[in-house]
Chains A and B, each alone.
Chain A
C-alpha cells in the first residue's frame, strides 16, 4: 500500500517543522491551567462556605438553655468544627461516597443472579443500617456526643450509652437526636447512593431535604433566631434583623414587581421601535450597572428627606425596589419574548383587543418566567447592604417594626455591624447570621429553579 512515486518534497514543504508533540504538550498544559482556574474558583467558594459553616454553625446550634449553650451538645453538624467532628468527617465522607458503589456489588457477591433493581434495593437496605450502626458505635466509643448532650440537658446518660440516653430522653429530645444523629447521615448516604445509580433528581432532592431538616431543627431551637441583638455576643440574636428583612422584602416585591412587569409589558407589547423605546432600553441597562450605594443616596434624598418616610421600612423597601427594577424589567421582557407570536395572532384573529390579548394570553404564558425573575431580583435585594446604610438603616434594633414607617434593620446590616467589630465573638455570630441569610437565599434560588422548570414543562 506504499506510495511508489512520491513527488520530491518542495522547498515549502520542508520549511514546515511539525513540532506536533511540543504543541500538543503545550495544549495539554494549557488545558490543565484552565482546569486549575476553575478549581481555584471552586476552592475559594468552598473555603468561603467551610469558613462560615465552621465559624457559625456552633452558635446556630447552641442549645437554648444556659447549660446547653455551654455544652454545645447534640448537634453533629455543629461540632464538625471540633477535632472529633473532623474525625467523624474523615470516615463518614469516604464511606458516604463509597458505600453506594460497594453495596450493590456486595449484594451481587452474596446473592448472585438477582435482578438489577433488587440488587440496588438490597444494596441500600443492607448497607444503610450498617452505616448507621457504625456511626452509633463511633459516637459511643469515640466522641460520646450523645452522652455529653445528655449531661447538658440533664439526662443521666453519662454512665450509659446511646440507648440509655434514648430511654431517658423525652419525646422531643428523641426526635431531636434522631433528626441530627441518624437522619442527616442517612440522607448523606442516600444522596450518594442515588448519585451513583445515576438517579440525579433524587440525589439533588435529598440534600434539599437535609437542608430543610436542618432548618426544621433550627426552628426547634429558635433561640438565635428569636433573640434581639445584644452587646454580649453570647446573648445576641437576629430576631429583629430577620423580621426586618422579611418585612422589607414583602414591600419591595409589592412595589417593584408591578412596576417592573408593567414597564416590560409596555416595552415589549406597546412601544414602537423608535428613539424613545431605544432610549428607555439603554437607560435600563445602564441603571443595572449603577453602583448600589448610589441608589442609597437617591433613596436618602427622595424617600427619607423629600417624601419624609424617615429611616423606615418603607424608605428602605422603595430604595430596594428601584435598585432591583432593572433586573425585573429585563427578565420579564425575556419571559414575554418567549411567548410565540402565533399565540398573539390567534387571539387577535378572533377579535381580541390588545389588552385582552395581553391579559388573557400573553401574561398567563409568561407569568412563570416573570415570577422567576422576580425571585432572583429579590435574592439580590436580600443581600444588599450598602443602599440601606446610605439611607441610614439602624444597626441596633431591639424591637419589631409594627408599621412600614418604623425604624428597622436587616440581616446584611446586622452582619456588617458584627463583622465590623473587633471582638471574635461577634465574628462568630456574624457567621451564624450569614448561614441564616444563605439558607434563605438558597431556598429562594431553589424556588426560582423549580418554578423555571415547572413553567418550562407546562408549555
Chain B
C-alpha cells in the first residue's frame, strides 16, 4: 500500500513513469473485444477464416451437387427420376428410376436397424442399469473398437463369413451377394452408436427418479423400461435416427456384400443396390465427365445428401425438443 509520506516524490515519480508507460496501452477499445495488437487482429482474422471454412464446405457440397444435378435434369425429365422404379444407368437403354436405389438403401437400413435396435438398446440398458462398473469398464471400450473398425473390413466379414452362413440356412440358391448379409453387418456397425448414445442419455436420468421408482416396489426391469427409458426417450430416439442416417450413408460394406442389382423387390435374400453402392460402381469405371452417367451420380448423391441431412436435423430437433429438464 503506497501511503503518502512527506518525502513522497519517489512514489509519485514511479507512478507517473508507470502512467507514461501504460498510457498508450490504455486506449479505449471496442467494448467486449479486449485490446488487440495488430498481430492479435491478424490472428483473429485467420482463426475466423478457419471457422468459416466449415460453412464453405457445406456450401461447396451443396453447390457441387446442385450444379451437376441441374445438368442432369436438363437431359432427363424429373418424372423419369422420381417417377420410376427401374434403374439401368449402365445399359444402352437407360432408366433412371431412383426409387430402385432408395428402396435398396431403405431395405438394408431397415435390416440393419432390426439388428441394431434390439442389440443396441438392450446393451445400453444393461450398461446403464444392470452392469457393475467393472464390467462396463471392459464392455464400453470394446464397443468403441467395434465402432472404429473400418467399413471395408465389415464388407469383408459380410462376404466371407455372414453370407456363407446365410446360404447354409436358406439354401444354395441364395446368392453370395444379398441384402440380408449386408444389412446384418450394417446393423453390427451401428450397434455402438445406439448403445453408446442411448447409454449416455439413460445415465443422464437423475438417480433420484430411479430411487423414487424403486421405493414404490419396482423391479429393476420396471425401473429400466417404465421410468428410465421414457425419461431418456429423446436421447434414445435421436441415437436411433443418427444410426439410421449412418446406415443410409454407409458405403463399403453394402457395395461389397449387397451386390449390384438395383431392384424393387421385397426379398432380402436377393442382391440389391444402394445409392452409395451405385455411386461407387459408377466412380470405379472411367466415366467421362460429360456423360449422363456422370451427372446422374450427382443427382443420386443429392438425394442421399438431402435424406441424411433431414435425418440428422430431425435427430437434433428430437433431442432438443423432447429433452426433459431436471432443474
Which among B80-88, B148-156, B201-209 touches the partner chain? Answer: B148-156
User: Does A430 lie within 8 Å of B156, measured CB to CB?
Assistant: yes
Q: Does B159 contact A (CB under 8 A)?
A: yes
Contacts of B48 in A (CB 8 A): 266, 270
User: In the complex, which of the residues A47, A272, A286, A297 contacts B65, with contact meaning CB atoms closer than 8 Å?
Assistant: A297
Chain B at the A interface: SS class? helix
Q: Does B57 contact A (CB under 8 A)?
A: yes
User: Does B54 lie within 8 Å of A390, measured CB to CB?
Assistant: no
Q: With A41-B146, A301-B64 given, is the CB distance from A289 to B308 under 8 Å? A: yes
With most chain A CB atoms within 10 A of its CB, the pick from B44, B153, B157 is B153
Q: How far is the CA of A287 from the CA of B49 in the complex (A)?
A: 17
Contacts of B276 in A (CB 8 A): 291, 293, 386
User: In the complex, which of the residues A289, A386, A427 contacts B242, with contact meaning CB atoms closer than 8 Å?
Assistant: A289
User: Does A385 lie within 8 Å of B152, measured CB to CB?
Assistant: yes
Q: Does B46 contact A (CB under 8 A)?
A: yes
Q: With A31-B130, A291-B276, A294-B304 given, is the CB distance from A384 to B150 under 8 Å? A: yes
Contacts of B309 in A (CB 8 A): 286, 289-290
User: Does A286 lie within 8 Å of B279, measured CB to CB?
Assistant: no
User: Does B47 lie within 8 Å of A265, measured CB to CB?
Assistant: yes
Q: Does A415 contact B (CB under 8 A)?
A: yes
Q: How far is the CB of B287 from chain A (nearest CB, A)?
A: 10
User: In the complex, which of the residues A282, A292, A294, A437 contacts B153, with contact meaning CB atoms closer than 8 Å?
Assistant: A437
User: Does B251 lie within 8 Å of A386, measured CB to CB?
Assistant: yes
User: Does B47 lie within 8 Å of A416, measured CB to CB?
Assistant: no
Contacts of A289 in B (CB 8 A): 242, 245-246, 249, 308-309, 311-312
Contacts of A348 in B (CB 8 A): 34
User: Does A270 lie within 8 Å of B47, measured CB to CB?
Assistant: yes
With most chain B CB atoms within 10 A of its CB, the pick from A42, A284, A287, A419 is A419
Contacts of A24 in B (CB 8 A): 219
User: Does B146 lie within 8 Å of A298, measured CB to CB?
Assistant: no
Contacts of A27 in B (CB 8 A): 219-222
User: Does A38 lie within 8 Å of B153, measured CB to CB?
Assistant: no
Q: Within residues 318 to 356 of chain A, which ones have a CB less than 8 A from any CB in chain B?
A: 322, 325-326, 329, 348, 353-355
Proximity bits, A227-253, B CB within 8 Å = 1, else 0: 000000000000000000000000000
Which residue of chain B has its CB nearest to the CB of A36?
Answer: B122
Q: Does B40 contact A (CB under 8 A)?
A: yes
User: In the complex, which of the residues B123, B301, B313 contacts A34, with contact meaning CB atoms closer than 8 Å?
Assistant: B123
User: Does A55 lie within 8 Å of B160, measured CB to CB?
Assistant: yes
Q: With A293-B280, A419-B159, A445-B148 given, is the CB distance from A280 to B52 under 8 Å? A: yes
Contacts of B297 in A (CB 8 A): 297
User: Does A293 lie within 8 Å of B156, measured CB to CB?
Assistant: no
User: Does A329 lie within 8 Å of B54, measured CB to CB?
Assistant: yes
Q: Does A48 contact B (CB under 8 A)?
A: yes
Q: Does B15 contact A (CB under 8 A)?
A: no
Q: Does B265 contact A (CB under 8 A)?
A: no
Q: How far is the CA of A35 from the CA of B149 in the complex (A)?
A: 23
Q: How far is the CB of A327 from chain B (nearest CB, A)?
A: 12
User: Does A37 lie within 8 Å of B122, measured CB to CB?
Assistant: yes
Contacts of B120 in A (CB 8 A): 37
Q: How far is the CA of A33 from the CA of B224 in the complex (A)?
A: 13
Q: How far is the CA of A328 from the CA of B97 in the complex (A)?
A: 38
Q: Does A383 contact B (CB under 8 A)?
A: yes
User: In the complex, which of the residues B68, B122, B156 contacts A33, with contact meaning CB atoms closer than 8 Å?
Assistant: B122
Q: Does B215 contact A (CB under 8 A)?
A: no
Proximity bits, B118-162, A CB within 8 Å = 1, else 0: 111111011100100000000100110110111111111101110
Q: Does A23 contact B (CB under 8 A)?
A: yes
User: Does B60 lie within 8 Å of A302, measured CB to CB?
Assistant: yes
Q: Does B323 contact A (CB under 8 A)?
A: no
Q: Does B305 contact A (CB under 8 A)?
A: yes
Which residue of chain A has its CB nearest to the CB of B68?
Answer: A301
Chain A at the B interface: SS class? helix
Q: Within residues 109 to 125 of chain B, which ones have a CB less than 8 A from any CB in chain A?
A: 118-123, 125
Q: How far is the CA of A294 from the CA of B46 in the complex (A)?
A: 27
User: Does B155 lie within 8 Å of A419, measured CB to CB?
Assistant: yes
Contacts of A270 in B (CB 8 A): 44, 47-48
Q: Does A131 contact B (CB under 8 A)?
A: no
Q: With A293-B249, A441-B148 given, is the CB distance from A353 to B40 under 8 Å? A: yes
User: Does B146 lie within 8 Å of A262, measured CB to CB?
Assistant: no
Contacts of B61 in A (CB 8 A): 290, 294-295, 298
Q: Does B316 contact A (CB under 8 A)?
A: yes
Q: Does A389 contact B (CB under 8 A)?
A: yes
Proximity bits, A188-230, B CB within 8 Å = 1, else 0: 0000000000000000000000000000000000000000000
Q: With A263-B51, A286-B313, A353-B40 given, is the CB distance from A416 to B160 under 8 Å? A: no
Q: How far is the CA of A40 from the CA of B143 in the complex (A)?
A: 12
User: Does B283 lie within 8 Å of A37, measured CB to CB?
Assistant: no
Q: How far is the CA of A36 from the CA of B119 in the complex (A)?
A: 8
Contacts of A355 in B (CB 8 A): 36-37, 39-40, 43-44
Q: How far is the CA of A258 from the CA of B51 in the complex (A)?
A: 11
User: Does B53 lie within 8 Å of A45, measured CB to CB?
Assistant: no
Q: Does A175 contact B (CB under 8 A)?
A: no
Q: Does B289 contact A (CB under 8 A)?
A: yes
User: Does A415 lie within 8 Å of B308, measured CB to CB?
Assistant: no
Which residue of chain B has its CB nearest to the CB of A348?
Answer: B34
Q: Does A132 contact B (CB under 8 A)?
A: no
Contacts of A326 in B (CB 8 A): 54
Q: Does B14 contact A (CB under 8 A)?
A: no
Proximity bits, A244-281, B CB within 8 Å = 1, else 0: 00000000000000111011011100111000000110
User: In the complex, which of the residues B37, B256, B308 contacts A419, with contact meaning CB atoms closer than 8 Å?
Assistant: B256
Which residue of chain B has its CB nearest to the CB of A44?
Answer: B188
User: Does A31 lie within 8 Å of B221, measured CB to CB?
Assistant: yes
Q: How far is the CA of A144 from the CA of B54 in the complex (A)?
A: 61
User: In the complex, which of the residues A35, A266, A322, A384 contacts B57, with contact meaning CB atoms closer than 8 Å?
Assistant: A322
Contacts of B191 in A (CB 8 A): 41
User: Does A266 lie within 8 Å of B55, measured CB to CB?
Assistant: no
Q: How far is the CA of A355 from the CA of B251 in the complex (A)?
A: 43
User: Does A294 lie within 8 Å of B160, measured CB to CB?
Assistant: no
User: Does B53 lie within 8 Å of A259, measured CB to CB?
Assistant: yes
Q: How far is the CB of A301 from chain B (nearest CB, A)?
A: 4
- Given A385-B150, A431-B160, 13 more pairs with CB closer than 8 A: A31-B221, A42-B139, A45-B142, A262-B51, A266-B50, A279-B55, A291-B248, A294-B305, A297-B279, A297-B297, A382-B150, A383-B149, A416-B252
Closest 4 CB pairs of A and B: A383-B150, A291-B249, A37-B122, A262-B50
Q: Can you spell out 30 A-B residue pairs with CB atoms less than 8 angstroms apart?
A: A23-B221, A26-B221, A27-B219, A27-B220, A30-B224, A34-B122, A44-B188, A45-B188, A47-B161, A48-B157, A51-B157, A262-B46, A266-B47, A266-B50, A266-B51, A271-B51, A286-B309, A289-B311, A289-B312, A293-B249, A293-B251, A293-B280, A297-B64, A353-B40, A383-B153, A384-B150, A416-B152, A416-B155, A419-B256, A437-B153
